[in-house]
Structure 1
């Protein structure tokens, strides 16, 4: 990664810090000093240790990094060893360039032109702080010479304060195999059901939920704070990652099911095929909540 200064935006009590050279990732998002997303850990430019990072040109896992499309076989780099699959694309592993910036907004771009992998693309993010809310648009343009499947999303990390709860409107969940690859879409079972507000500590999840509408609401009742995470109609899937024994969890608006490129013929995966020159974009909003 190249060296580049951090981008800091402010509006009222909100402060956002983004690291263009560190994967175009959010280092911190605060309201009056309270971390609405998990604050970055350490000074290393490591998006995995940051508050949120962009997912492009796909989200989730592609099984063993292999897929076939329009009669051609592809092998992607396994980019997060010992993870046995390609995961979350590679936009978060590169350096982004700031295209514009003012006090409350910024735009940055990422150009991916490697010919040894199938995806050639230009991606962008646009950050804007408003009253109590952060809007982040992520988009991708196919700059290659053939149609390819693309996807986008965001990967917010949240602090697992005692008593934290989650509630979101979803209609189904993708079950996974032993290696965490999505295999089958089913109605939400009781063990994974947070359509009614539920304590985070009651669940262990690493799943993609479909039919995400409205927003996911996170509450930290002991801190009297909350966060509303919404996606526009493009970002209509939700990864929820609640690991056992960790001090964080993740709630990630994305555009498609994991491993969608290996589910040809299905119309419920959210897969987006972009012809050369076509674009896909979606917006996530993060709204600070004060609890009584």
Structure 2
């Protein structure tokens, strides 16, 4: 099938997926109001086969050290899949399935599948990484850019409110990577990784308009609220630099599978 935009609809919600642009969700609209920041590099993209920054682009698999392209000096960031063209495998009115075959510069063959499923009050995203050959460490997650202000609310308003109750915050070094020390969560602004052992549970509230909950069974989430235009809530299977510190091993018998669900209600 082609890599043209795929559109899904359910009730008053509609989603656009761009398989030719890293399989990102380019648009999520509720009652005609756009929730995601628009632009070629925004929307919400899958982070595969690693999330956030990998220190100096290097990671180890057993005795072998691999070098990834340093695309956010001095580190490698956000995986390779966001820059790839994905294949569209199946589409219905409310669900679409996409695949991407891992290739250079990632050193191991494998296949990534993303499933996008829309309901009237929720969007569920699922990722799976499979290998039919060598086992390898990997991570998977999502990097959504939610609009700070919704259409119809001016920039002078306070914008979206972000609420969560994390068990800890990963202390970040000057290189933007976790130091290995866990501290009590600090107040905003954030570009930080938080631990939620019971699963990711973050609520975004646009006062008087909409409440949206980002949930996942994973225990790691990066919250980034420094930009003036957007906030990012990124559920993922490990912390930044997790290929080195907390990898999940993908084997022929055990794929890496994860999901996130965004549920909304009108206020």
TM-score with structure 2 setting the length: 0.90
Q: CA shift at 1:37, angstroms?
A: 2.4
The answer as to 2:60 corresponding to 1:68 is yes
Specify which of 211, 220, 227 is matched with residue 196 of structure 2.
Answer: 211
Partner in structure 2 of residue 200 of structure 1: none
Q: Distance in 2 between matches of 1:24 and 1:138?
A: 11
Mark the CA change 1:19 to 1:117 in structure 2 (over 3 Å): closer, same or farther: closer
Deviations 1:184-216 (CA, angstroms, capped at 9, x unpaired): 231323x33xxxxxxxxxx22111111252521
How far the C-alpha of 1:27 sits from its partner, in A, is: 0.6
Distance 1:101 1:117, change over 3 A: closer
Among 193, 209, 213, the alignment partner of 1:228 is 213
Aligned residues: 258
Determine if contact 2:200/2:219 at 8 Å carries over to the other structure: no
Indicate whether 1:279 and 2:258 are aligned: no
Counterpart for residue 140 of structure 2: 152
Please tell me whether residue 5 in structure 1 is matched to residue 4 in structure 2. Answer: yes
Residue among 111, 115, 119 paired with 2:108: 119
Q: Cα distance, 1:77 vs. partner? A: 1.0
Superposed, which structure 2 residues align to 1:93-112 within 5 Å? 93-112=83-102
Q: Provide the rounded CA distance (Å) in 2 between the counterparts of 1:188 and 1:142.
A: 38
Answering whether residue 19 of structure 2 is matched by residue 20 of structure 1, we say: yes
Q: Is the 8 A contact 2:249 2:256 kept in 1?
A: no
Secondary structure at the aligned position of 2:50 is classed as: coil
How far apart are residue 84 of structure 1 and its match? Answer: 1.8
SS of 2:20 mapped into structure 1:
coil
Residue in structure 2 matching 1:176, options 156, 159, 172: 172
C-alpha RMSD over aligned residues: 1.9
Given the alignment, which residue of 231, 253, 265 partners 2:235?
Answer: 253
Structure 2: segments with no counterpart, 5+ residues: 150-156
Structure 1: distance between partners of 2:3 and 2:196: 38
Q: Unmatched 5+ residue regions in structure 1?
A: 193-202, 264-268
